[in-house]
C-alpha cells in the first residue's frame, strides 16, 4: 500500500511527525498527506499524493515544504517506487483557522 510506504519513508526522512490524517492534538510542526487519486495500467500503479506541511509561521511552513520536496524527490531510492514527479506546490494557508501550511502534490509510479 503506497500510503504505508510514504508514511514510513517520510517519518524516517523528516524531523517532524508525519500523519495520514490531522491528529486531535497537533504539534507545532507536522506533515499530513493523502492519496487524492490512483490508477493502474498493465499492472503498473500510479498515485497522486497531496502533502501538507504545517508550521507556526509562513516561513517555517515553506521551509518544511522544501524538506518534504527533497525527501519526495529521493523516494525513488526505494525499490517499490519507480517515479516521483512534483506536480506543483503552493501556499495553502487555512485563513479561517489561521494555520500556516504549504502543499506539495506528487505523482508517483510504484
Q: What is the mean pLDDT of each run of 10 residues along the chain (110 residues)?
A: 97 98 94 98 97 98 98 97 98 93 98
CA distance 40 to 45: 4
Q: How far is CA 67 from the centre of its chain?
A: 10
CA distance 93 to 12: 25
Task: Indicate the pTM of the whole model.
Answer: 0.93
* Backbone CA torsion sign across 20, 13, 38, 90: positive
What is the predicted pLDDT for the residue at 99? Answer: 94
What is the predicted pLDDT for the residue at 28? Answer: 95
* SS3 label, residue 36: strand
Question: Do β-strands 30-41 and 18-19 pair in parallel, antiparallel, or remain unpaired?
Answer: parallel
Amino acid at each position: 500500500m503506497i500510503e504505508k510506504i510514504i508514511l514510513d519513508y517520510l517519518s524516517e526522512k523528516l524531523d517532524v511527525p508525519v500523519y495520514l490524517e490531522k491528529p486531535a492534538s497537533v504539534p507545532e510542526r507536522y506533515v499530513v498527506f493523502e492519496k487524492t487519486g490512483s490508477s493502474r495500467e498493465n499492472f503498473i500503479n500510479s498515485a497522486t499524493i497531496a502533502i501538507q506541511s504545517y508550521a507556526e509561521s509562513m516561513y517555517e511552513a515553506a521551509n518544511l515544504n522544501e524538506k518534504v520536496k527533497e525527501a519526495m524527490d529521493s523516494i525513488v531510492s526505494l525499490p517499490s517506487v519507480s517515479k516521483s514527479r512534483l506536480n506543483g506546490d503552493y501556499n495553502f494557508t487555512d485563513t479561517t483557522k489561521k494555520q500556516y501550511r504549504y502543499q506539495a502534490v506528487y505523482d508517483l509510479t510504484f
